[in-house]
Chain A
Amino acid sequence: MIEMEEILNFQTVSRSLPQIDSIKKATGEAKYTVDIKLPRMLYAKVLLSPYAHAKILKVDKSEAERIPGVRAVMTFEDIPKVKFNAGAKFNHLTPLPDDEYILNDKARFVGDRIAAVAAESEEIAEGALKAIKVVYEELPAVFDVEEAMKDGAPKIHEDRENNIVAHISSDFGDVEKGFKEADLVLEDEFRMPGQQHLPMEPHACIADYSSDGSVTIWSSTQSPFQIRFMVARIMGIPQDKVRVIKPYVGGGFGGKEDMFDEPLAVVLSKRTGRPVKLEADRKRDLAAMSRRHPAVVRVKIGVKKDGTITALQLTTKMDAGAYCTSSPRICGAHGGRALAIYRLPNYKFDGYTVYTNTLPSRAFRGYGNPQMTFPVESMLDMAAEKLGISRMEIRLKNCMQAGDLNRLTGGVIESCGIKECIKRGAEAIGWNEDRPREIGRNKRRGMGMAMAAHWTSAVPRQTESAGAVIVFAEDGTANLLVGASDIGQGSDTVLSQIAAEELGMELKDVSITSADTKVTPWDAGTYSSKVTYLAGNTVRLAAADAKNKIIQKASKILGVHPEALVCKDKRVFVRTNPSVGLTFAELIEKLRQSGEPQIIGMGNYGGYSNPPTYVAHFAEVAVDTETGEVEVLRYVAAQDAGTVINPLLMEGQMEGGVQQGLGYALSERFVYDKKTGVILNQSLLDYSPLHSVDMPPLKTIIVQTYEPTGPFGAKGMAEGAFNPVAPTIASAIYDAVGVRIKSLPITPDKILAGLEKKEMR
């Protein structure tokens, strides 16, 4: 591979630098929303429905209101009657259905918001919840996506037949023709469960409503501008009166993309005239806020003898849960995911998003991609076996390459490192080595692989832009203002690196102010793996604008042609004679003395291209044929994200992606009481995510390419790091014991059942 670093001679970009705020995080100084305490602040708690589906006949809050220290008790009667969709980001051309209120007048899942209390302490608030008397009339409920679609199923929202929120379809070519041309046609069904985001900091917000009709909100969110948009709409106030500040955020992964309790905190603050903090406890956060969409996916694939795919058809039923949120968009994105990774001549997708009486599904790292990647990768393995070709060969035969049509944008795939990912990943795991199958008693070894791609942003389905401004202090240091939210992934660092690189400054001379709706330019939010790419391009443009202004001014002062000047280390000087120049501080002082405009760099970037990141994963597992236990012996993750702005942070994303992916593959799931719809494993330990001792040895491989549309050649990557984990593990398990598991998570009971079935054959 060409080392772009050498060609472009980067100073700050492409270097493994710690997050710029990691010292504050290491010392405990970093303030998260949950850490903020305002004078006279009240604490709010929400009364959640104990029933999955129920009419609310009567709410008596009088006893709760009489409790000393209780300052407000609110129910449906007390709130603005504005229906909203918590996933709406801005005025879309195709709006999502508005189907919920701040507090609902009907319970649609166990955990639905029914009433709220603001009190002098959390303890008093919690006590007051118990004193609210609600008379419910239980309704028949439905918890399964296919049951919910049947005629006669309980109706969750009045205006939706068979509980179908939306049917999305897309196609190109002719799948029927493609299946006819195929030598082998396979069809099968796959089931994937919900998955919890489990951010370490639970959802939390504080609202401080002022008598002048303005409000300030601190929120643990990925999308402050979305909250501003929604709160302004619900409260009927102008957007400039809503200030949303994103403090440090303790993880998001998509789970903090939507709006949550913010408007509820606002109405409580307005009612009481005091700041109100509303923090979800872990139990509510885990079981009543958000999850990945459970899905049933039917795949039909046609392949030639040599492995060439002739047609792919997907039919998906996605469980939206009790409220729509952005489910139709996620389902649509799910349908488009396969197009980024495989050359498909004929393609058809039908996706149904369906209401059930379960907790709302929302964006989660992958945004529909994992629900496509697990089925399609598994089908490719099955096809390869039937055709007698290798799992790697069938993938190499069909994978995208640079120069191919980008089906999403109609443009061209300009950078694609998938073959290099496969090659280097295979080498690292020892794909072609012949190792003994049996390890000790009852244990069999197997290897698996899978690949995936992930778009960088939602362009062109959704046009997204981001703005950035750079201002300078008198000493020549710079402050970068960007709307993008750092939620722990390190975008503040990466964006500062990009600004520093463009301006020839050191990273320590650039600071950043991000995600404050009153201060920073608009940004759609942190999602779609797009911040490095979209906000990165924006920041680079802002920095270039500032640099241009610096050079133009210096050119006049120094009397040299602008093209002879360069910027480095807070100084502008003649390239061929560095002694002729000005420090930024001197230039700024001269501009001040002469009354000339300050140096302010501005950038705006509206995405038009959408280059995918490419990923290949490999795993070696040992399966215990007595117990069905799977041990991941080794894991290799290889990924192409164009120029890597910060390899240390990219590795961190790759490692975290594997951790979350292994949880999705092997252990994480909600266990429901089938009668009541109550989630039985409502604690972090019972939900079974992976801990330090569960992690296998992992090798990460960064494959560097160059994406011409990205900032310094960069693409997005964080979601891609998650997508291929589950099919990689499933592939390895099949290789070990010959059992094909078509539902997640792959628990020991499923493997044992598969082994038993195999023996009976």
Chain B
Amino acid sequence: MGKKIELKVNGELYVLEVQPHWTLAYVVREVLGLTGTKVGCNVGDCGACTVLIDGKAVLSCLTLAVSASGKEITTIEGLSKDGKLHPLQEAFVNHGAIQCGFCTPGMILSAKSLLDENPSPSDDEIKEAISGNFCRCTGYYKIVNAIKAASKRIK
């Protein structure tokens, strides 16, 4: 039995019929084709599927799509504006914080959620904010540097 929901994703309104057990990650990726949101474990362990719901970082693989109805969702595709990268995206690029890139979208959105709340985080606060986002390539050092640099630019 499908259920009708309204999702505002990256500023665009979608009226969708979804199954009650479909996760937001599934709907974003498979129904809307926004594959920038990655699924690394599908059980909430890795953080790759992180999106923003009403500005807060949320694991979309643990969120039912129906529960996100009526809310504003930001995926990685919604972060750059008019072809201009968000300062976090730019910092991730320039600081070499991206290797394979699979954790990057979730990592950037966790960082955005942090900076929206705390514009001048310490290194420890940054590490804490991304502690649910697993990365196997980088050792996190350049990621922390990038978030720090972006925080200075956004201010």
Identify the A interface with B (CB < 8 A).
16, 18-19, 21-32, 34-35, 37, 197-202, 248-251, 253, 281-282, 487-490, 648-649, 651-652, 655-660, 683-685, 689, 691-693, 695, 698
Contacts and interface: CB of A to CB of B under 8 A. Distances in A.
B94 A18 contact: yes
B101 A695 contact: no
A488 B96 contact: no
A282 B99 contact: no
B73 interface: no
A28 B77 contact: yes
Q: Looking at A27, A37, A487, A693, which has the most chain B CB atoms within 10 Å of its CB?
A: A27
B120 interface: no
A384 B26 CA distance: 58
6 contacts: A19-B96, A31-B35, A281-B42, A656-B139, A684-B40, A691-B132
A64 B136 CA distance: 38
Interface in B16-67: 29-30, 33-43, 45-46, 48
Contacts of B33: 37
Q: Looking at B48, B102, B104, B127, which has the most chain A CB atoms within 10 Å of its CB?
A: B102
B100 A250 contact: yes
B34 A28 contact: yes
Contact of B79 (A27, A251, A684): A27
Given A253-B136, A691-B131, A18 B102 contact: no
A216 B11 CA distance: 37
Interface of B: 29-30, 33-43, 45-46, 48, 75-77, 79-80, 85, 89-90, 92-94, 96, 98-105, 108, 126-128, 130-144
Contacts of A698: 139, 141
A57 B16 CA distance: 47
A83 to B, nearest CB: 33
A282 B94 contact: no
Given A18-B98, A25-B98, A197-B136, 13 more contacts: A19-B96, A19-B99, A26-B108, A28-B76, A37-B33, A200-B38, A200-B46, A200-B135, A282-B41, A282-B46, A656-B99, A658-B139, A684-B40
B36 A27 contact: yes
Contacts of A32: 35, 38, 102
Contacts of B130: 692
Contacts of A649: 96
B45 A655 contact: no
Contact of B38 (A198, A250, A693): A250
A22 B105 CA distance: 11
Contacts of A21: 101
Contact of B98 (A19, A657, A685): A19
B138 A652 contact: yes
A491 B65 CA distance: 38
Contacts of A695: 127, 139-141
Nearest to A16: B96
Nearest to A36: B35
Contact of B138 (A25, A253, A659, A689): A659
A321 to B, nearest CB: 21
Nearest to B46: A684
A200 B37 contact: no
A488 B46 contact: no
A692 B108 contact: no
Contacts of B99: 19, 251, 488-490, 652, 656
Given A22-B101, A30-B101, A200-B46, A652 B80 contact: no
A695 B128 CA distance: 11
Contact of A660 (B35, B98, B100, B136): B136
Contacts of A689: 134, 136
Contact of B45 (A22, A28, A659, A683): A683
Contacts of B39: 34
A685 B101 CA distance: 20
A26 B89 contact: yes
Contact of A692 (B38, B41, B90, B143): B143
Contact of A26 (B46, B85, B102, B128): B85
A52 B76 CA distance: 42
A659 B90 CA distance: 24
B136 A249 contact: no
B140 A659 contact: yes
A39 B33 CA distance: 13
Given A18-B96, A28-B37, A692 B45 contact: no
* Chain A to chain B: the 3 pairs with minimum beta-carbon distance, closest first: A28-B36, A488-B100, A25-B101
A27 B102 contact: no
A199 B41 contact: no
B17 to A, nearest CB: 15
Contact of B96 (A37, A253, A651): A651
A25 B97 CA distance: 11
Contacts of B103: 200
Contacts of A250: 38, 40, 100-102
Contacts of A249: 100
Given A248-B101, A692-B144, A22 B134 contact: no
Given A28-B75, A693-B128, A202 B40 contact: yes
